[in-house]
Amino acid sequence: MTDRQYFARSRIQSHDWRQPTRARRVVRPRAIETSWHSRSQSSLEYRLVASKTFYIETFGCQMNAHDSEKVIGTLLAEGYERVDAPDNAHLVLYNTCSIRDKAEQKVFSRLQQFKREAGKGKLFGVLGCVAQQEGEKIFDRAPHVNLVAGSASYTRLPELLVQLEAGGKRVTGLSLDTDEAFDTPYTRRDNPHRAYITIIEGCDKSCAYCVVPFTRGPERSRTSESVMAEARRLAEDGYSEIQLLGQNVNSYRDSSPAGWDFATLLRRVAGIAGIRRVRYTTSHPRDFVKAIVEAMDDNPVLCDHVHLPVQSGSSRVLAAMDRLYTRDQYLERIEWLKTAVRQYAITTDIIVGFPGETEADFQETLDLLDAVEYDSLFSFKYSPRPNTAALTLPGHIPDEEKQRRLAIVQEKQRAIQIRRNAQLVGATREVLVEGRNPAMGQWIGRTSDNRTLNFTHPAADGLLGRYLDVRVTRSGPNSLAGEAVTVA
Ligand code: SAM
Ligand code: SF4
C-alpha cells in the first residue's frame, strides 16, 4: 500500500466503542445556560447548551489522536461533558497538525467555519502543532479564538481552563521549556481493546525538513513505573493490545533509577498478564539497535511488524536531511530483521523531492524499494515547513516534478504489495477482530504484522475484541480476505 490508508483503514472501519476507562470520572455539567440559534428563516429553535460542554476535532498522527484522548479525559475530569457537534458545545477545540502542506491556512479556514457553525457565545481553543507554531498570531487572525496551547502545555490544561472560564480572552500555553510528559490518569479511550500509551514526548533530532522539534519540544521520557502502571491498569480493564507511542521510541530512556532502555521496556510490557499484542511507533533507524530485534524474537507478544522510516534511498540526500545514518547503515538494520528468528513485516516513510534530490538520488530510492520489498509505505512530497533548515537549501523542486516522483514510488510499491500479499494466500493468521462490515457480510481483523484481513464467520455479532485464526483465501494490494478457521 502506498499511503496512510493502510493504517487509517482500521480507524475508518472499526466501531466507535465508547466505554469509560477505569480511571475516568464522569462528572455532570455544573451549570446550564440558554441560548437561541437561528435554524431556518421561518423558525427559531430554542435549545439548551450546557455551559460546560465541549466538542473536539483532531487532525494528524497517532500521537495527536492520543493527545486528544488525554485532553478529553482531562476535560471530563474537570466537569465538562463531550458533545458531537460544535453547535451543541460551549467550548470548541481543534487539535491540529502541521507536519505537511499548508496546515496553517487549513486551520484558519476551519476556524472560520466553526465560527459560522457554532454560533455566538462560544469559547474556541486551538491545540497541538499549529498552536505551538503560530502562537499568539492566531488571536490576531482569528479573534474569536480564546485559547492557544501546544502539546508541551497540556499538563497545565486544568489551570488554562480556569482562566478561560474566568473570561480570559487570550489564554496561552506555549512554553516548550519543560521536562514533563503529559502523564495523566484521565485518558478517555474510545477503543476497548487497543490502547495507546505515550512513552516519550518531543524529539531531540533535527531532521532538516521536520517541524516536530519546534512544535513538540525536547525529548521527555516517562518513568518505567508510570508506563508499567498504565499498561497493567489497561490489562485489568480488558485491553489486550498496547501501542507504545513516541516520535522516536528507540531513544526512550527511563528517567527513574531502574534506567530501562527501550528494548527492556518492550520485554516488560509484553510480560504483563492479559496483554496479547504490543506494537510501537515510530522508530528512528539511527537508534534502532539489535537488542530491539532480540527482544521481539524472544517474545511473540511483540507484534511481527516494524515501522522504520527511511525517507530516502540516497546517502547524499540522507546527509542533507540530517538523518544521521547512511543507506548502508539503514540496510544493515533491515538485514537484522530479515535474518531474525521470526518473520517481520517492514514498513517505512518516504519523502520525494527533497531540495537537491537529483534523478539519480530518486533512482536510489526506487532501488531501495526493490531491495527491501516493504509490506507497506507512506510516501510524501517534500513540504517546506516554517523554521526548518531545509527551507534555505538550494535546489527546491517544482511541485509537478515532486508529484511525478510520488506517483512513480506509489506505483512501484503497489506492485510490490500485490506480490507480497499474494504470497500469503493459503496461510492461516491470527487476527484481532476490530470491526464488522455488514454490507459485505464480513468481519474486519488485524494480523500481528498489521495487515487488514477481512473474513467471513457464521456469527453476526459477538466477535469484536476476540482473537481468531483466519485462513487467507484472497489478496489485494492493501488487504487480505479469508474465512475463519475458529468458528466456535
Ligand atoms: N519521528 C518520525 C521519524 O523520524 O520517522 C516521523 C514523524 S513524522 C510525524 C511522520 C513522517 O512525516 C516522517 O517520517 C516524514 O516522512 C513525513 N514528514 C515529516 N516532515 C515532512 C515534510 N516537511 N515534508 C514531507 N514529509 C514530511
Ligand atoms: Fe521529525 Fe526527525 Fe524527530 Fe522524526 S526524528 S520527529 S522526522 S525531527
257: exposed, middle or buried (C-beta count within 10 Å: 0-12, 13-18, 19+)? Answer: exposed
Supply the residue whose CA is at minimum distance from atom 4 of ligand 2: 247
pLDDT at 119 (0 to 100): 67
Q: Which atom of ligand 1 is nearest to the CA of 247?
A: 1
Q: Is 245 in the pocket of ligand 2 (CB under 6 A)?
A: no
**Most ligand 2 atoms within 8 A of CB, residue of 247, 250, 282, 286 to mutate:** 247
CA distance 90 to 154: 20
Q: Is 61 in the pocket of ligand 2 (CB under 6 A)?
A: no
Measured CA distances, 260 to 183, 275, 282, 291, 479 (Å): 18, 20, 18, 12, 37
Task: pLDDT band for 25, please (50, 70, 90 cuts).
Answer: very low
* Coil, helix or strand at residue 402: helix
Reply yes or no on whether the pLDDT at 35 is more than 90.
no
> How many A from CA of 133 to the centre of ligand 1?
16
Instruction: Report the pLDDT averaged over residues 140-144.
Output: 92
In 127-251, where does DSSP find H-type helix? 129-134, 137-141, 157-165, 212-216, 224-236
26: exposed, middle or buried (C-beta count within 10 Å: 0-12, 13-18, 19+)? Answer: exposed
* Coil, helix or strand at residue 379: strand
Reply yes or no on whether the pLDDT at 37 is more than 50.
no
Q: Is 248 in the pocket of ligand 2 (CB under 6 A)?
A: yes
Contacts of 161 (CB under 8 A, 6+ apart): 75, 78
Cα dihedral value 196, 201, 207, 210, nearest 10: 70
Q: Indicate the residue type of 458.
A: P
> How many A from CA of 247 to the centre of ligand 2?
7
Reply yes or no on whether the pLDDT at 52 is more than 80.
yes
- Give helix 224-236 / helix 262-270 axis angle, nearest 10°: 20
> How many A from CA of 228 to the centre of ligand 1?
28
Mean of pLDDT over the chain: 87
| Residue owning grid cell 458531537 | 84
Nearest Cα neighbor of 219 from 176, 259, 162 is 176
CA distance 464 to 442: 12
* pLDDT, tens digit, 9 for 90 and up, residues 191-232: 889 999 999 999 999 999 999 999 999 999 999 999 999 999
Q: Looking at the CA of 202, name the nearest ligand.
A: 2
pLDDT at 118 (0 to 100): 66
Task: Give yes or no for a contact between 455 and 445, defined as CB atoms under 8 angstroms apart.
Answer: yes
Task: Give yes or no for a contact between 124 and 115, defined as CB atoms under 8 angstroms apart.
Answer: yes
Reply yes or no on whether the pLDDT at 43 is more than 70.
no
**Helix (H), strand (E) at residue 264:** helix 262-270
> How many A from CA of 322 to the centre of ligand 2?
10
Segment among 57-66, 140-149, 392-401, 433-442 with least mean pLDDT: 57-66
Backbone angles phi, psi at 473, to 5 degrees: -115, -25
Q: Which atom of ligand 2 is nearest to the CA of 216?
A: 6
C-alpha distance across the termini of the chain, in Å: 33
Q: Is 111 in the pocket of ligand 2 (CB under 6 A)?
A: no
Centre a 10 Å sphere on the Cβ of residue 366 and count the other Cβ atoms it contains.
16
> How many A from CA of 382 to the centre of ligand 1?
9
pLDDT at 396 (0 to 100): 98
> How many A from CA of 212 to the centre of ligand 2?
6
Supply the residue whose CA is at minimum distance from atom 5 of ligand 2: 205
* pLDDT, tens digit, 9 for 90 and up, residues 429-466: 999 999 999 999 999 999 999 999 999 999 999 999 99
Reply yes or no on whether the pLDDT at 399 is more than 60.
yes
- Please count the helices (runs of H) and the strands (runs of E) in the chain: 14, 21
**Most ligand 1 atoms within 8 A of CB, residue of 61, 67, 204, 210 to mutate:** 210
Q: Looking at the CA of 283, name the nearest ligand.
A: 1
Q: Looking at the CA of 351, name the nearest ligand.
A: 1
Instruction: Report the pLDDT averaged over residues 394-404.
Output: 98
Percent of the chain residues past pLDDT 90, beyond the cut:
74
> How many A from CA of 200 to the centre of ligand 2?
13
Supply the residue whose CA is at minimum distance from atom 2 of ligand 2: 207
Reply yes or no on whether the pLDDT at 3 is more than 70.
no
Task: Give yes or no for a contact between 433 and 464, defined as CB atoms under 8 angstroms apart.
Answer: yes
CA distance 251 to 220: 10
Reply yes or no on whether the pLDDT at 246 is more than 80.
yes
Instruction: Report the pLDDT averaged over residues 139-156.
Output: 92
Task: Give yes or no for a contact between 344 and 449, defined as CB atoms under 8 angstroms apart.
Answer: yes
* pLDDT, tens digit, 9 for 90 and up, residues 88-126: 899 999 999 989 877 788 888 888 888 887 667 889 999
Sheet of 241-245, strands arranged across? 194-198, 241-245, 277-281
Q: Looking at the CA of 245, name the nearest ligand.
A: 1
Flag whether the pTM goes above 0.95.
Answer: no
* pLDDT, tens digit, 9 for 90 and up, residues 308-341: 999 999 999 999 999 999 999 999 999 999 999 9
